[in-house]
Chains A and B, each alone.
Chain A
């Protein structure tokens, strides 16, 4: 009796230990076959990526494992996964600043086939002679407007402006005149304000502290002839066109659905819902927002009425300014993976952007505007905002604004600037202080992030 009890005790202990060690080593098992591990940034198309991966495996026998980071957790997820034996072989960086963090992990991609087909090589992230990030989607943002509402305005009698269509609105002065008169006539137009809420809740303010701030800084870099590849040259800014930033920011907040003192709790989703429900006529956002507009319950906006206007801020010669076009999504291949794995990853992305099936997924399912010469005119996405982006990119005599915000020094810089803008909107901070803090913050964060 005693002996059997003892045996039981030992057996149970062994069993517990065995399960424990199994679960621990289970994560560390290695595959002999070459696989591609991709850490996907876009949760909204995770399922589609999965389908594409299965298709690829069926055709080539190479297994592609797609893992997806939840919204806004890409860096965290990547940091956690990189430390495991199952580190992604294919991942993405968000530009030069993102590269700084992952420099040890980014392989040189200049010899890859996909890079050879990149239409505009200047879009890639480079470090010296190395190409470390290949952009895989081109996106754009501007002021999205609802043509049904602007047309209603143009049909009103007793207007203060004499525009006949939105095509005539091509500068800040004209935009301001239009917006202010529309705001005055909001009851006639059936809206609560011209612009959707300027969402300034912490974490929801990237449309202003990043996207909107890109415009004055693009002009500052351009006019100062700053070499954008030189970290020292971009370590300081003067915020030279702060007044222009204030122009447009004030226009947004003064002619909004929401009063200025209550912007601190508004989210991007709130803004998009206001636009979708026709409570407002305009909202600043990028082409990725179409799915958000479309999916709002009770959505009233018709697809054919969704149009883009460039963000005019009052710069000289801005009549020829286009939308802000660029990307924050760059493929990177893990330099610490074996050579075979690196090659497998490069082959997979090349297949995705060159084979008929891959391209079909990219344009139709992902809705990407792909920056590669393997894509013809007919291979472009069909959603209204993406179509508008393509149209604006191809418009004669219009220059797109590049995405220079990939040079913004750190996430903390953006958060601080956003918080500062909120206080300004609430009337608790004067504009000079906002500008001063922005300039100081840029310099501080530039040195902090690189040392």
Chain B
């Protein structure tokens, strides 16, 4: 088949996937945006209210902004910790040693556990420890914050480690050998050779940890559910509670969700640009 013929058949082959994509993704997304400009109980019973929902989302109370602040702080801390830890683990586990595969699997495993279960297990653990001082995770917002960070790091570090391992293994051996012959110390090799060359992996990992931190929901719900007094409520949970918390506020929840989407998309785009610009070729 030459190219022209292939082109003729293109619509036939792409159509099923395109339809599925539209039905499962484009339509719900479009409806979501459309609903954010309406007051509604169900999707078939909506009344247009213009920007009112957006105004209310930002001005009726400080919940959304507070959740945003908390989430941003959480994201910053966990991105840093996860990536440093994951990279360190990757460095350790790319050295030839016994039980390497077993260790890699062990570190990766937490990622396979569902968020609600994990939140529940961690609440038992953390409350067990805090119980020694006669308090629990709901006692102060800082306990909830560090609890969430701990959980997130534990869950994601192994996953990111796998990506870093792949990145490290892709560094050509000849480059490392050349560095060694030139008398580069271990630190110099790390900073000048390894890090620049795993930049693509860093791009992916920061992207994943960033979006993950912002979208965190199950773990938040199961671990603190916002206690004390909503101070550990993250964006996704705030949207959820706005949607179901008051009669007639579904539209506001929807508006918050649209804002949330724009925010995460913008942040991810900026981050991708920043880290991409540092990527080099071997």
Show the binding face of A for B, using Cβ within 8 Å.
6, 9-10, 13, 16-17, 20, 24, 75-76, 79-80, 82-83, 97-98, 100-102, 104-105, 200-203, 259, 261-262, 264-265, 410-412, 415-416, 419-420, 422-423, 426, 428, 444-445, 448-451
Contact = CB atoms under 8 A, between A and B. Distances in A.
Contacts of A101: 41, 247-248
Given A419-B228, A449-B248, A83 B131 contact: no
A416 to B, nearest CB: 7
B137 A264 contact: yes
A82 B41 contact: yes
Contact of B44 (A76, A83, A100): A83
Contacts of A203: 225
B183 interface: no
A264 B224 CA distance: 9
Given A416-B229, A422-B227, 11 more contacts: A13-B15, A83-B42, A202-B224, A261-B139, A262-B131, A264-B138, A264-B139, A265-B138, A410-B245, A428-B140, A448-B246
B45 A17 contact: no
B126 to A, nearest CB: 9
A100 B16 contact: no
4 nearest A-B pairs in the assembled complex, by CB-CB distance: A264-B138, A202-B225, A412-B245, A83-B42
Contacts of B139: 261, 264, 426, 428
6 contacts: A9-B12, A13-B12, A17-B15, A83-B44, A426-B228, A448-B249
Nearest to B23: A24
A256 to B, nearest CB: 14
Interface in B91-134: 123, 127, 131, 134
B137 A102 contact: no
Given A412-B246, A419-B228, A419-B230, A104 B41 contact: yes
Contacts, number: 119
Contacts of A100: 247-248
A411 B134 contact: no
A154 B35 CA distance: 63
Contacts of B225: 201-203
A264 B139 CA distance: 7
B138 A410 contact: no
Contact of A262 (B136, B244, B248): B136
A102 B248 CA distance: 10
Given A13-B13, A202-B225, A264 B248 contact: no
A423 B231 CA distance: 12
Interface string B194-230: 0000000000000000000000000000001111111
Interface centre among A104, A201, A444 (most CB of B within 10 A): A201
A448 B63 CA distance: 14
A416 B245 CA distance: 11
Interface centre among B16, B41, B135 (most CB of A within 10 A): B41
Contacts of B244: 75-76, 411
A201 to B, nearest CB: 7
Q: Is the interface of B mostly helix, strand, loop or mixed?
A: loop
A407 B157 CA distance: 48
Contacts of B136: 261-262, 264-265
Nearest to A80: B42
Contacts of A75: 244
A261 B134 contact: yes
A419 B135 contact: no
Given A97-B247, A202-B226, A265 B42 contact: no
B245 A264 contact: no
A20 B246 contact: no
Q: Name the interface size band of chain B.
A: 35 or more
Contacts of A6: 9
Contacts of B230: 416, 419
Interface centre among B44, B131, B139, B140 (most CB of A within 10 A): B139
Contact of B13 (A9, A20, A202, A449): A9
Contacts of A83: 42-45
Given A20-B19, A416-B229, A265 B137 contact: yes
Nearest to A260: B134
A426 B138 CA distance: 9
Contact of A420 (B123, B131, B229, B247): B229
Contacts of A416: 229-230
Interface in B49-86: 60-61
A451 B15 CA distance: 46
A105 B123 CA distance: 41
A378 to B, nearest CB: 41
B20 interface: yes
Given A24-B23, A76-B244, A426-B139, A262 B134 contact: yes
B228 A102 contact: no
A203 B245 CA distance: 12
A20 B20 CA distance: 8
A449 B138 CA distance: 28
Contacts of B41: 79, 82, 101-102, 104-105
A263 to B, nearest CB: 8
A424 to B, nearest CB: 11
Interface string B4-17: 00000100110110
B88 interface: no
A423 B245 contact: no
A82 B138 contact: no
A97 B246 CA distance: 9
A104 to B, nearest CB: 6
Nearest to B247: A101
A17 B16 CA distance: 6
B221 to A, nearest CB: 9
A201 B16 contact: no
Contacts of A20: 16, 19-20, 23
A419 B229 contact: yes
B241 interface: yes
A176 to B, nearest CB: 25
A38 to B, nearest CB: 18
A17 B19 contact: yes
Contacts of A419: 226-230
B88 to A, nearest CB: 33
